[in-house]
């Protein structure tokens, strides 16, 4: 590593703090600051890949609930109604809605929440509700007319891609609780990434359900204790997100699987990727790989191979113009 890279790594470690990188040193046995910083960059890269599928899943989740509930409750168009004003939400959920539909104004010398004018459309309200709102929508049992919600029918519409999507299946509380747990798991994973926490670091993975009388939530997987187990745990979490996306929207799942994020996650979630990031410390090659500078395919292959031991990426140019990025894994 040249002196410029040494300066970069030292500056990055100082800015991030040794304490923040300490977990990377101990858990992954990073020998020096360069390796620890490289592992930090690996965590950022795999978190970015996870963010794509979590983003798709969050959008599909709110759209499916919005469509299913709009077809049954509220005022507005057939596909977009203010169902949230017609259900008996718990206080926290109701407050989440009011923060969007109401504004804080001074009235008679005191601040109060008053309806926004013009009122936000149902689509606007739903788009602003956080991921954490949606699992608890399953806790709603009655509408404002004191009629029971028919969750068995609603969830058939919400999750058309579920392998057991039938009224009989969703009529059972344990299946609805498992869906709650799956949505809550995805929400927690999204929040971990949003708060810049290590995505590989996690506690025990529990069976999917909710604590109720006669229901025992067991440890399905203990907290990872080795890099290999951490990667296996990441794969399990990723598969859970993919399953939820497929339940909600098979079409959007297919679109995601055809994109670049899935193979990128797969490439990053393996031991050779960890070792590669330890070596190159997340640095790109300064000089681009110029296709015109190589007279044979053999020499071009050698140029690309030379990028792998020392660099995390290299720009590829043709006729002086950048045309691609080469990102070797392993």
Q: What is the pLDDT of residues 280-290, one digit of tens each?
A: 877 777 888 88
pLDDT of residue 55 exceeding 90, the answer is yes
Residues 251 and 303 in one domain: no
pLDDT digits (tens, 9 = 90+) for 31-51: 888 889 999 999 999 999 999
Q: How many domains does the chain have?
A: 2
- Specify the pLDDT at position 329: 66
Residues 109 and 222 in one domain: yes
Lowest mean pLDDT among 95-104, 105-114, 119-128, 134-143: 105-114
pLDDT of residue 330 exceeding 70, the answer is no
Tokens of 16: 């991030």
pLDDT digits (tens, 9 = 90+) for 199-249: 999 889 999 999 898 888 999 989 999 999 999 999 999 999 999 999 999
Say how far apart CA 274 and CA 28 lie, in whole Å: 9
The residues pairing with 289 across neighbouring beta strands, listed in sequence order, are 316
pLDDT digits (tens, 9 = 90+) for 306-328: 887 677 788 899 988 998 887 77
Say how far apart CA 1 and CA 135 lie, in whole Å: 48
pLDDT of residue 172 exceeding 70, the answer is yes
Residues 58 and 159 in one domain: yes
Mean per-residue pLDDT of the chain = 91
Residues 47 and 194 in one domain: yes
Say how far apart CA 272 and CA 93 lie, in whole Å: 44
Tokens of 227: 């890099």
pLDDT of residue 179 exceeding 50, the answer is yes
Residues 119 and 25 in one domain: yes
Residues 209 and 247 in one domain: yes
Q: Which of 272, 228, 201, 285 is nearest to 20 (CA)?
A: 201
pLDDT of residue 2 exceeding 50, the answer is no
Question: Which residue did the predictor score with more confidence, 270 or 280?
Answer: 270
pLDDT digits (tens, 9 = 90+) for 20-35: 889 999 999 998 888 8
Q: Which domain holds residue 320?
A: 284-326
Residues 133 and 196 in one domain: yes
């Amino acid at each position: 590593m040249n002196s410029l890279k040494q300066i970069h790594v030292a500056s990055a470690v100082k800015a991030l703090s040794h304490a923040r990188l300490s977990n990377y040193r101990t858990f992954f046995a990073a020998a020096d600051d360069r390796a620890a910083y490289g592992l930090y960059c690996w965590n950022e890269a795999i978190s970015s890949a996870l963010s794509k599928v979590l983003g798709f899943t969050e959008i599909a989740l709110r759209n499916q609930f919005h469509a299913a509930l709009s077809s049954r409750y509220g005022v507005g168009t057939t596909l977009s109604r203010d169902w949230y004003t017609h259900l008996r939400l718990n206080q926290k959920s109701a407050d989440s809605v009011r923060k969007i539909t109401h504004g804080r104004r001074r009235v008679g010398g005191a601040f109060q929440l008053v309806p926004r004018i013009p009122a936000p459309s149902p689509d606007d309200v739903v788009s602003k509700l956080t991921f954490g709102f949606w699992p608890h929508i399953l806790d709603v049992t009655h509408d404002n007319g004191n009629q029971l919600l028919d969750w068995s029918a609603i969830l058939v519409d919400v999750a058309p891609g579920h392998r057991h999507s039938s009224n009989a299946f969703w009529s059972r509380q344990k299946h609805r609780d498992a869906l709650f747990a799956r949505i809550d798991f995805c929400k927690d994973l999204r929040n971990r990434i949003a708060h810049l926490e290590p995505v590989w670091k996690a506690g025990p993975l529990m069976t999917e359900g909710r604590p109720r009388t006669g229901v025992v939530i067991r440890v399905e997987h203990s907290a990872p204790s080795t890099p290999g187990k951490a990667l296996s745990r990441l794969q399990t979490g990723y598969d859970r997100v993919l399953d939820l996306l497929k339940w909600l929207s098979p079409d959007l799942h297919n679109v995601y699987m055809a994109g670049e994020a899935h193979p990128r996650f797969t490439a990053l979630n393996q031991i050779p990727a960890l070792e590669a990031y330890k070596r190159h410390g997340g640095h790109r090659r300064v000089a681009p790989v110029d296709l015109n500078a190589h007279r044979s395919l053999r020499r071009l292959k050698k140029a690309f191979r030379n990028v792998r031991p020392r660099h995390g990426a290299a720009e590829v140019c043709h006729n002086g113009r950048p045309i691609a990025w080469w990102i070797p894994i392993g």
